[in-house]
Chain A
């Protein structure tokens, strides 16, 4: 498989190749160097020359975790963008070295749960062959940068955030100063007026904005995060001129690297530093470092960002109308439902953005078989400029689809259970791996998601409920992002038994808020019914087409309490 040869500038926007970044020989040499290095480290581990302790940091820097049953390899999908050729290579990896499937994560990556250590160097080579890698998908370093999954396609976008994200990806790769940080460090970007990247909830969130003079720059948010101590990020810079981005990021990282806590790993994220230092004092530290540093010696040239941006030049969109879209919708109510929920407005007339659901009713959220990967790739080849996105909701996005192709695309997706009409609805559940895979889990999360998904499978009822996010984590590390769900579920362990806490009122967007605990923990069997009661209370309370979060903010938690109390009083008839 070789997609690496086409230079980016031959025919920008010609639709001959996906509009995404391609490696030049520096990038290729760099990744190849890393594959060779890791192959050597694995050989030394297998021969016993390296102890597990000594091997650990090396494998983590290459995305290899030791889980409950086996190694897990987390492959980086930079800002979620993946070509159809890359997706087919992921399918090949799943078949050849795993059990025929993979798992899309909440950070737009893909994980393989069953690789053998001896095979990992070959897997990394297979990834390098299609310009992919697993570098810095774990460890206390700057992790894979995430971005709006509708980037470059959304109707509400000021600028495609991916060129900036790629610039940051390169700058943060193997950084000599910032690779042994107090803790992991995550960045997210958006270039839209709507926040689909949760920029308020990352170590650094960047929003592309235009100032009154018409210049493009960044609003910088620092210190958001989930985990044990969830916090909404704070504004540290209203408008950062575009050319100064890397210097400013370096100033933040420098302050964090020097002053972030290292005495307690649960207090080591930058959010705690910002919180304990105080926002104004933290800002002053960053500004002092920014003023003292050699900014021009740190920043990339504007020409470098322009070089990267050229790769992302928009495909050439044709002048098209919606064709028979309305006719098909009228004839097929299930297709009409799919269009209602899984299709979003595109910046070009006659086009649409489509979400393929990786959340079939009763399925495992984010799990995808190799056959499904190949089908997704085929759909992208045929209908979406050979390109896809992994969303942090663990779905797959086709960014550039002609509206007149929607019906054919839907039929194709349906053949392998990828057309569930539930994007953004109550069954579009995010769940971490939990007890089924994760060594840190205190409870199961996947089976809970499956039960809730089955309970709400009726599509008319889902439509009535409308947009409502449920997110489930299997321990307080909160990888399932339960804090920012309208309804969050946290699985804990209490006297040897799984116990589930419900939180309400989380919001992942610019108006971010952390969900509040509803009451005491529940047994696993009680969870779906309590969710059902909560939804019924919401339906009674809501005014017009108010979202759950708005109802909750208006009426408060009190009206929702009875959902729990009923369970306590007459738990026997559940």
Chain B
């Protein structure tokens, strides 16, 4: 898997739990195996997870990865916002099928990093993500992590 942060491919100290295998430190677990967590741990959420399901370990989990089963499935964007609203301050990852063209929206909704498969990373190399970080400056919404909120700018100009 490839991890992208601030438009760059970076090394990943985390790994995903293998089926059946014992859990080590720095493992991202599926939600249903959260009881096995040991040491620093992360969790991989399906994009239809409810916030109530992560409340019990919100204070102790280090990484929350939200799965994107298809790039056209936008549930992960809303879930990310809700996870942040619930008070999570650790690393929030968009995991799976996302495109560089969605990078600005991913960051705007509160994600820090993107984790994609090696196949996708080969087709959409670092340069695409770096370029995507540079594009699309302007957004009309407030309350998202966008570079420039046009509404806030207009207010400031008054």
Of B74, B77, B146, most buried by chain A (CB within 10 Å of CB) is B74
A33 touches B81 (CB 8 A): no
A177 touches B81 (CB 8 A): yes
A179 touches B105 (CB 8 A): yes
B85 touches A173 (CB 8 A): no
A177 touches B150 (CB 8 A): no
A-B contact count (CB 8 A): 93
A307 touches B154 (CB 8 A): yes
Of A27, A175, A179, most buried by chain B (CB within 10 Å of CB) is A175
Distance A170 CA – B140 CA, assembled complex (angstroms): 6
B146 touches A176 (CB 8 A): yes
Distance A37 CA – B103 CA, assembled complex (angstroms): 14
Distance A388 CA – B158 CA, assembled complex (angstroms): 31
Taking the complex as formed, is A181 at the interface, i.e. its CB lies under 8 A from any CB of chain B?
yes
Query: For window 70-89 of chain B, which residues contact chain A by CB distance below 8 Å?
Result: 71-75, 77-79, 81, 85
Distance A97 CA – B75 CA, assembled complex (angstroms): 39
Query: For window 251-271 of chain A, which residues contact chain B by CB distance below 8 Å?
Result: 254, 257-258, 262
With both beta carbons as reference points, the residue of chain B lying nearest to A255 in the complex is identified as B78
Taking the complex as formed, is A174 at the interface, i.e. its CB lies under 8 A from any CB of chain B?
yes
Given the known inter-chain contacts A304-B154, A304-B155, please indicate yes or no for A176 contacting B72, CB distance below 8 A. no
CB contacts (< 8 Å) of B101 on chain A: these are: 57-58
A297 touches B142 (CB 8 A): yes
**How close is A337's CB to chain B, nearest CB, in angstroms?**
46
Distance A257 CA – B48 CA, assembled complex (angstroms): 10
Residue total for A at the interface (Cβ-Cβ under 8 A) = 36
Query: For window 295-312 of chain A, which residues contact chain B by CB distance below 8 Å?
Result: 297-301, 303-304, 307
Taking the complex as formed, is B16 at the interface, i.e. its CB lies under 8 A from any CB of chain A?
no
With both beta carbons as reference points, the residue of chain B lying nearest to A171 in the complex is identified as B140
CB contacts (< 8 Å) of A299 on chain B: these are: 142
**How close is B51's CB to chain A, nearest CB, in angstroms?**
10
With both beta carbons as reference points, the residue of chain B lying nearest to A29 in the complex is identified as B138
CB contacts (< 8 Å) of B45 on chain A: these are: none
Query: For window 156-176 of chain A, which residues contact chain B by CB distance below 8 Å?
Result: 170-171, 173-176
CB contacts (< 8 Å) of A301 on chain B: these are: 151, 155
With both beta carbons as reference points, the residue of chain A lying nearest to B146 in the complex is identified as A176
**How close is B75's CB to chain A, nearest CB, in angstroms?**
6
Given the known inter-chain contacts A29-B138, A174-B140, please indicate yes or no for A300 contacting B151, CB distance below 8 A. yes
Point out the residue from A170, A176, A304, A307 that lies within 8 Å of B108, measured CB to CB.
Answer: A176
B139 touches A174 (CB 8 A): yes
Given the known inter-chain contacts A178-B74, A258-B75, A294-B143, please indicate yes or no for A33 contacting B138, CB distance below 8 A. yes
Taking the complex as formed, is B6 at the interface, i.e. its CB lies under 8 A from any CB of chain A?
no
Distance A4 CA – B136 CA, assembled complex (angstroms): 22
A180 touches B74 (CB 8 A): yes
Query: For window 52-94 of chain B, which residues contact chain A by CB distance below 8 Å?
Result: 71-75, 77-79, 81, 85
**How close is A167's CB to chain B, nearest CB, in angstroms?**
9
Distance A307 CA – B157 CA, assembled complex (angstroms): 12
CB contacts (< 8 Å) of B79 on chain A: these are: 258
A33 touches B140 (CB 8 A): no
CB contacts (< 8 Å) of B138 on chain A: these are: 26, 29-30, 33
CB contacts (< 8 Å) of A258 on chain B: these are: 48, 75, 78-79
Taking the complex as formed, is B144 at the interface, i.e. its CB lies under 8 A from any CB of chain A?
yes
B105 touches A176 (CB 8 A): yes
Write 10 A-B pairs (CB below 8 A) sorted by A numbering.
Answer: A29-B137, A30-B150, A170-B150, A171-B140, A176-B109, A177-B77, A257-B78, A258-B48, A294-B85, A304-B154
Binding site for B on A (CB under 8 A): 24, 26-27, 29-30, 33, 37, 57-58, 140, 170-171, 173-181, 254, 257-258, 262, 292-294, 297-301, 303-304, 307
